[in-house]
Amino acid sequence: MSYGLLSLEPKDRDGNPIENLEDQAIMEGDRELKAWDAIARYMQSFEDTDGDGIANVPEYYETTHGRKVVEDSRNIIDLVKQPNKFSAMITGICLIFIVIIVLVVFLIRRMIRRIKVRKGKKNSK
């Protein structure tokens, strides 16, 4: 779940929002064509190159051809080099929080010094 951070709005091929998903289902006769059925049919369309009676996926599909790039690096630089707006907002909030803490500490130290100076003046009289 994205907890409201990500909203998806399905659209048709022209970019218009889809009101009823049922209207967009691909029908085969009076039944809806399921994705798994379409994939199974596509796999069956390949040639049986090794003669075992099962269609073989062509070598062309061994690489992604730059269409899908998975970045699973654990390097902190790789993880933060392309931030989105939410990470920028979180970073900003953290920085504001740190600045507030520093200011509070500074003000408390200043108040303590003033109190010590006042006590020092009273004791010297």
Does residue 3 form part of some domain?
no
Does residue 105 form part of some domain?
yes
Does residue 113 form part of some domain?
yes
Round the CA-based radius of gyration of the chain to a whole number and report it.
32
pLDDT in tens, 35-82: 999 999 999 999 999 999 999 999 998 888 888 877 788 888 887 888
pTM score, whole prediction: 0.41
Domain coverage including residue 118: 84-125
Q: How far apart are CA 117 and CA 21, in angstroms?
A: 74
Interior/surface letters 19-43, b for 16+ CB within 10 angstroms, e for the rest: eeeeeeeeeeeeeeeeeeeeeeeee
Does residue 30 form part of some domain?
yes
Instruction: Give the pLDDT confidence score for residue 103 in this predicted structure.
Output: 98
Instruction: Verify that 96 and 123 share a domain, yes or no.
Output: yes
Does residue 77 form part of some domain?
no
Instruction: Verify that 17 and 66 share a domain, yes or no.
Output: yes
pLDDT category of residue 124 using cuts at 50, 70 and 90: low
DSSP assignment letter at 93: H
Does residue 5 form part of some domain?
no
Instruction: Verify that 63 and 90 share a domain, yes or no.
Output: no
Number of domains in the chain: 2
Instruction: Give the pLDDT confidence score for residue 7 in this predicted structure.
Output: 83
Instruction: Verify that 56 and 102 share a domain, yes or no.
Output: no
